Structure 1
Amino acid sequence: MEHLIRSLTMEDLPYLEAMETGIEDDYVKRIFKRLVTAEGNRLYGLFLGDQLASVCGYTIFADWYAMLGRIRSDVRFRGNDLATQLTVYVRDEAFKIPNIQWVGANTQEENTAARRVLEKTGFSEYLPLYGATTKDVSKFAANTSPWAEVHDLERKKAWIDRLYIQTGNIFPYECYYLFPASAELFSDEKLAEWAFYENEAKDRVLITKKDFKKYDYLQAIYPWNDFMEQKGLWETITADYKTVVSEAKEDAYIWMDLTKEQAQSLPEGHGFKLPSPWVLYGVWRKERAAKDPEFAASTPLCKTKNKS
Structure 2
Amino acid sequence: MKTIIRLQNDDYPYVQALDTGIKDDYVKHIFDKLVQVSNRLFGLFQDGQLVSIAGYTIYTGSYAMLGRLRSDRRFKGNGFSTSLFSHALNAAFNNHSVKWAGANTQEHNISAQRVIEKNGLSNYVTLHGAITKDTSALETGAKPWNPVTDLQRKRDWVQQTYVKSGQVFPYECYYPFPASMDLFQDDDLEQWAFYENDNQTRVLITKTDQKKNHYLHAVYPWSDIVSQPGLWETISSDYYRLKEITGEDTYIWMDITKEEVQTLPANHQFELPSPWMLYGIDREEYERLVD
Q: Give your verdict on TM over 0.5.
A: yes
CA distance in 2, matches of 1:255, 1:230: 18
Offset of residue 250 of structure 1: 2.5
Deviations 1:168-227 (A, max 9, x none): 110000000000111111111111111110011110111100111101000001121212
Offset of residue 111 of structure 1: 0.5
- Matches of residues 44-55 of structure 1 in structure 2 within 5 Å? 44-55=42-53
CA distance in 1, matches of 2:50, 2:151: 49
* 3-state SS in 2 of match to 1:128: strand
2:138 paired residue among 137, 140, 143: 140
Aligned twin of 1:113: 111
* 3-state SS in 2 of match to 1:206: strand
Offset of residue 291 of structure 1: 3.5
1:189 paired residue among 187, 205, 228: 187
Aligned twin of 2:285: 287
- Matches of residues 4-19 of structure 1 in structure 2 within 5 Å? 4-19=3-18
TM-score by length of 2: 0.98
2:172 paired residue among 171, 174, 177: 174
Offset of residue 136 of structure 1: 0.8
CA distance in 2, matches of 1:290, 1:249: 51
Which residues of structure 2 form unaligned runs of 5+?
none
Answer whether contact 2:138 2:265 (CA < 8 A) is retained.
Answer: no
1:7–1:240: structure 2 CA closer, same or farther, 3 Å change rule?
same
- Matches of residues 96-245 of structure 1 in structure 2 within 5 Å? 96-245=94-243
* 3-state SS in 1 of match to 2:162: helix
Aligned twin of 1:86: 84
Answer whether contact 2:125 2:279 (CA < 8 A) is retained.
Answer: no
CA distance in 2, matches of 1:80, 1:57: 19
Answer whether contact 2:137 2:267 (CA < 8 A) is retained.
Answer: no
CA distance in 2, matches of 1:107, 1:193: 29
- In structure 2, give the amino acid aligned to 1:30: H
- In structure 2, give the amino acid aligned to 1:243: R
CA distance in 2, matches of 1:223, 1:165: 12
* 3-state SS in 1 of match to 2:126: coil
Offset of residue 138 of structure 1: 2.0
CA distance in 2, matches of 1:178, 1:236: 23
1:124–1:36: structure 2 CA closer, same or farther, 3 Å change rule?
same
Identity of aligned residues (%): 52
Deviations 1:123-174 (A, max 9, x none): 1111101000001102321222110001111111111111111111100000
- In structure 2, give the amino acid aligned to 1:109: E
CA distance in 1, matches of 2:137, 2:104: 32
CA distance in 1, matches of 2:290, 2:112: 24
* 3-state SS in 1 of match to 2:153: helix
Equivalenced residues, count: 291
- In structure 1, give the amino acid aligned to 2:244: S
2:57 paired residue among 52, 56, 59: 59
- In structure 2, give the amino acid aligned to 1:20: D
- In structure 2, give the amino acid aligned to 1:29: K
- In structure 2, give the amino acid aligned to 1:22: G
Deviations 1:88-137 (A, max 9, x none): 00000011111011111100111101101100111111110100000110
CA distance in 2, matches of 1:181, 1:218: 20
CA RMSD for the aligned pairs? 0.9
* 3-state SS in 1 of match to 2:207: strand
Aligned twin of 1:271: 269
Which residues of structure 1 form unaligned runs of 5+?
294-308
* 3-state SS in 2 of match to 1:275: coil
CA distance in 2, matches of 1:20, 1:289: 35
- In structure 1, give the amino acid aligned to 2:24: D
Aligned twin of 1:28: 27
Offset of residue 249 of structure 1: 4.5
Q: Which stretches of structure 1, 4 residues or more, deviate above 4 A after TM superposition?
A: none
CA distance in 2, matches of 1:291, 1:140: 46
- In structure 2, give the amino acid aligned to 1:258: I
